Chain A
């Protein structure tokens, strides 16, 4: 029985694009929303997509969702635990 098959989660049609954004862009985002980093929505370090893109705790992930209302929606999540 084969149990190993590697494939990218990003390719699945239910998984939106996740992008690790650099520090200076993070500050821009926080300023735009007027919030602290901790007030952003969270994403867990153990989340399969985070494992795949290799982010670390404290990183901010930019998620580009396909939205039924806006076409494309950008949200940010803070990597925790």
Chain B
């Protein structure tokens, strides 16, 4: 007699198995008729093979991860710049990118954002375009041409009418913005703005021209370029940006705050917290490796990102992060800058407890890994 759905659910309810194994077990059980005895047998075997597949206690999981990421790493290209998908945006890929991720750099060399839009914006190209103009940093050079008149000692900005309409600006708005930012008086005459420096000096005029060029008339400072493209899979418009400013972009109406993200791990950490940063490291590292045609098991990358985020902040692997914080002097000295670590330890009178792996290898003792970690004790029979 086959067991009912209810019995299957009940019996698979509290198994010490990961959720997706339970789900797989349930869906497979639905397809076949099993008796209660058989079901018990199946569950028992599932538990057995799960136990077998689990990593053994005292196994050097970190070393296995290091090798599993390191070996494919040797095959990565040293220097690649590539275009991200459909949008013609330059992003660092390959080994330099991977190094950037594990080093937890505050400012990656090519920050980039993927901005998803809310429903009414996502399917309307014009709305999306308008939002893109609002987000993209607009400088004087985007809306007109700037020239210095040395005989009259003035700065002249000739606005391009088409460009300012496209970006939803008016000549007055631009003039006002320039006045605010530069502290000067701007004379507006149709589409020509003229600015006079306070003192009639050649140097001041040049300085003024430089300052005027750097004024952001509209948009978010760090976002240099916004590219809109239609994502065929989700069938909606998505914006890709050169430069990243998650905090400032999320406040715009029309930006989907549930999916929008950046490739800058530290920014994710600041805006979304440590757990999101962990996910971001996993995603960025996996994407970088996959783009190079390398398959590394996600568990290894998960281990790395777990270690990087375990203390509640994003830490780098390496001398300035994880490895530099080891308790053992010898372990730190064995990694990098040997002499200074030994010297500092000597000055402070540090004691090495010889509890880790590296220091025990150095002094020639069995390491505390695998069978070396276990002490066997027996009580004498009386």
A residues with CB within 8 A of B: 2-5, 7, 9, 11-16, 18, 41-44, 47-50, 63, 65, 67-73, 77, 80
Contacts and interface: CB of A to CB of B under 8 A. Distances in A.
Nearest to B20: A71
A14 B280 CA distance: 7
B274 A43 contact: yes
A3 B299 CA distance: 40
Contacts of A41: 306, 309-312
10 contacts: A9-B276, A12-B257, A14-B280, A41-B312, A42-B310, A47-B312, A48-B270, A65-B279, A67-B18, A71-B20
Given A14-B276, A65-B275, A72 B268 contact: no
Contacts of B257: 7, 11-12
B362 to A, nearest CB: 26
B261 A69 contact: no
Contacts of A44: 274, 312-313
Interface of B: 18-21, 23, 250-251, 253, 257-259, 261, 268, 270-276, 279-280, 298-299, 302, 306, 309-313
Nearest to B268: A14
Contacts of A63: 275
B251 A2 contact: yes
Contacts of B271: 9, 48
Contacts of A15: 272-273, 275-276
Nearest to B248: A3
A16 B275 contact: yes
A67 B274 CA distance: 16
Contacts of A5: 250-251, 253
A50 B274 CA distance: 10
Contacts of A49: 272-276
A12 B18 contact: no
Contacts of A71: 18-21, 23
A28 B140 CA distance: 62
Nearest to B260: A12
Contacts of B268: 14
Contacts of A50: 273
Given A3-B251, A47-B312, A77-B312, A14 B279 contact: yes
A13 B258 contact: yes
Given A14-B276, A48-B273, A65-B275, A80 B312 contact: yes
Contacts of A42: 310-312
Nearest to A4: B251
A50 to B, nearest CB: 7
Nearest to A52: B273
Nearest to B283: A14
Given A70-B20, A80-B312, A9 B273 contact: yes
Contacts of B259: 12-13
B283 to A, nearest CB: 8
Contacts of B23: 71
Contacts of B299: 69
